[in-house]
Amino acid sequence: MWRELCSRIRREPTVPADAESPDARGHPVVFTTRELPFRQIRDVPEYRFDDIRQDDVVIDIGANVGAFCIRAARRSRRVFAVEPVAWEILEENIRLNQVPVKIVRGALGDGNPGRITWDGITVSVPTYSLREIVSLAGGCDFLKCDCEGGEWSIRPEDLAGIRRIEMELHLPPIGGLPNPSLLEYIARHYHFEMERMPCHDVLGVMGILHATCRE
């Protein structure tokens, strides 16, 4: 199944990220200029989120410094960000932009404590299954997930009830082998498209999944 999905990957041009870039409505998104020993992702042109609704519960797994969740919070009043490494600067950026984002310090996983590495920085944090994260958030309508291979730990049934998915899918050496049952569940229950963008044209990235639940 995952080979079939790979065959559906499209390549599209993208735009470079700016240190201060606007959201989809043209409002500026402000980020702290403090330097850190890991990449701070400040723009997310690869994700589609114009269809976030005001009453959606939005979950951003792998929030980094807030590029997605801050923009999402300009559309929805209920946004939850899961971040294991950059959570302190994420908090700072949320304050700078005065948006109502709640942070879960941790990572997607099997529920056991885990060691997460980002750009050579390794931290020990609690991990949560997707079902646990959804429970903490009080539901999920829109899921964005970019967690360097952690997506393959998602139990397919935990996606039930989620209307929209924006997810970066990884391959070795970034992540483990794809989980066929997860891909098969998505293929059965969602209209989807796979997209490979030049800004992610690196070894270990399968592509960006854009998925909408079938009615």
Q: How far is the first Cα of the chain from the last one, in angstroms, to the nearest whole number?
A: 22
- What proportions of the chain, in percent to the nearest 5, are helix, strand and coil? 25, 30, 45
Rounded (5°) CA angle 107-34-117: 25
Other C-beta atoms closer than 10 Å to the C-beta of 6 total 15
Residue spans per domain, the chain: 2-10+55-213
41-82: per-residue pLDDT in tens? 999 999 999 999 999 999 999 999 999 999 999 999 999 999
d(CA 9, CA 97): 34
* Domain 2-10+55-213: CATH architecture, name and number where available: 3-Layer(aba) Sandwich (3.40)
Q: What is the mean pLDDT of each run of 10 residues along the chain (215 residues)?
A: 48 39 71 91 95 98 98 97 97 97 97 93 97 98 95 97 96 85 97 74 76 94
If DSSP codes are grouped into helix, strand and coil, which group holds residue 155?
Answer: coil
